[in-house]
Chains A and B, each alone.
Chain A
Amino acid sequence: MLQRMMLAVAALLLCLSAGISLADNGPPEFQDPALGQRYSALTEELRCPKCENESLASSGAPIAADIRQRIAEWLKAGQSDDEIRHHLVQRFGEYVLYKPRIERRTWLLWGLPAVAVVLGAVVLTLLIRRRRRLRVNDLDEAERARLASLLARHGEQQSSNREAR
Chain B
Amino acid sequence: MKAKPILFIPLVIFVGLAVLLWHGLGNNPTDRESALLSTPFPDFTLATVDDENKQVTPEVLKGQVTLVNVWGAWCPTCKQEMPQLLDLAQRGVRIVGVDYKDQRSEADKFMSDFGNPFALNIFDPDGSLGFDLGVYGAPESFIVDANGVIRYHHTGYITAEDVDNTIMPTLKRLQQ
Contact = CB atoms under 8 A, between A and B. Distances in A.
| A in complex with B | yes
Interface of A: 49-50, 52, 61-63, 66-67, 70, 89-95
B35 A92 contact: yes
**From DSSP, what is the main secondary structure of chain A's interface residues?**
helix
A95 B29 CA distance: 10
Nearest to B137: A50
B32 interface: yes
Which of B132, B133, B134, B137 has the most chain A CB within a 10 Å cutoff?
Answer: B134
Contacts of B35: 89-94
Contact of B136 (A61, A90, A94): A61
Contacts of B136: 49-50, 61, 63, 92
B159 interface: no
Given A49-B136, A50-B137, A63-B137, A91 B33 contact: no
A99 to B, nearest CB: 17
Interface in B1-54: 29-30, 32-36
A91 B35 CA distance: 6
A93 B134 contact: yes
**From DSSP, what is the main secondary structure of chain B's interface residues?**
loop
A66 B127 contact: yes
Contacts of A67: 131
18 contacts: A49-B136, A52-B29, A52-B30, A61-B137, A63-B135, A63-B136, A63-B137, A66-B127, A89-B35, A90-B35, A90-B36, A91-B35, A91-B36, A93-B34, A93-B35, A93-B134, A94-B35, A95-B32
Given A50-B136, A63-B136, A91 B32 contact: no
Contacts of A66: 127, 131
Nearest to B33: A93
Contacts of B32: 93, 95
Interface string B50-79: 000000000000000000000000000000
A41 B131 CA distance: 21
Nearest to B135: A63
A91 B137 CA distance: 13
Nearest to A89: B35
Which of A63, A89, A94 has the most chain B CB within a 10 Å cutoff?
Answer: A63
Contacts of B30: 52
